[in-house]
Each structure stands twice: as structure tokens, then as C-alpha cells.
Amino acid sequence: MRVADAGDVPAIVDLVESAYRGDASRVGWTTEADLLDGQRTDADAVGAAVGSESSVLLVVVAEDGSLLACCQLEPHDHAGCHFGMFAVRPTQQGSGVGRELLAAAEVYARDQFGSTAMQMSVIAQRAELIAWYERRGYARTGATQPFPYGDKRFGLPRRDDLHFVVLEKRLGTSAAGLRRRDRRRTRG
């Protein structure tokens, strides 16, 4: 696992698209192809995430240099961290790489950002994905968010009842992470 750089942007876009959209995504179990058409992300959005000073995009790289998985971490609030842009190559889903990246992302958020909680938004109709996160210690917060209908950057909905549920997991704290969080607060 490493932090992504600008040279990774095209491969990250391909990875995310392959995991969620179109027929290629049906090889794995995380497909949204029955819920959404169109794109999941684009080079502008991924480039902004990679170049952001307020977030980090992590990638898992295979021995041949291809990307196997990615996720974005963005600290928010006083001690929370948002987990997003999570994708695993469809042929690698079920191999444990996603579970390992999620666990590593939690440690990164705690140790590098001083986060004590990880949050994410998941399409409510993705019951199997929500259950996967729940098995890893995430719980529904009761909060929901509307789906951005009309914004093609997030896909073309195939149904009119899409929305997100917010999941959260409490993370332990580390002394180094708390020091980093405190320094961020005094600068911000």
C-alpha cells in the first residue's frame, strides 16, 4: 500500500469504473450496474483527490505494478475521517485485499490524522455491501444523505429511490495521531 500520486490518476479511474460500472463490474460483487449507468468518477475528480492537501488517496499495487485497490481518506470534524472512493479490482474481490485495505486505512486515519472515528456513505440499496461493512465493525448512524440526482458526475440513476446511509466505526487513538490532530487544529 502507498499514497497515490498524479501518475496513478488514469489507473485509479479505470479501477473505480471497473469495480462499479458496466459489464466488467459484474465479475465482482460490488457492482452498481443495476442501480446506475454512466460514470462513477473521472480524471478531474481523482486528480483533485490526489492533489488535495486535506485528504489522501491510498492504493494497493500488485507485483506487476497494476492497481488492485484504492480508497480516499479525508479528515473532517474534530476527530472524524471520511472513507470513500473505495474500489477493488473485480477479479480480486473476495481475495481479502479489500478487507486488508480497509483495516490499513483505519490505522492510517488514526495514526496519521488522529481520527477517532471513520465514516462513510453507502447507497442504501446496497444491502450486501452494508452487511460487509457491519461485519467489520461499522454501524448505521441513522443519518441519511440524498443521492445527487441530476449530477452526471455521479452516474445516471436507473431508479428514483436512491439515497445514502451513513456508517461509522469508532477507532482507537494513538499518541502520535493525537499529536498530529492537535497540530492540525492549531493551524486551522
pLDDT at 167 over 80: yes
Quote the DSSP letter at residue 12. H
- Nearest one of 105, 147, 109, 106 to 126, comparing CA atoms: 147
Burial group, residue 137, by CB count within 10 angstroms (0-12, 13-18, 19+): middle
Give the start-to-end residue ranges of the domains of the chain. Answer: 2-187
Q: Contact at 8 Å (CB) between 21 and 13?
A: no
3-class secondary-structure state, position 130: helix
So what's the pLDDT on residue 176?
53
CATH ID of 2-187, from 3.40.630.30, 2.60.40.10, 3.30.70.100, 1.10.3720.10: 3.40.630.30
Could you tell me which residues come within 8 angstroms of residue 63 by beta carbon, excluding any fewer than 6 positions away?
none
So what's the pLDDT on residue 79?
84
pLDDT in tens, 58-105: 999 999 999 999 999 999 877 899 999 999 999 999 999 999 999 999
pLDDT in tens, 20-34: 988 888 888 888 989
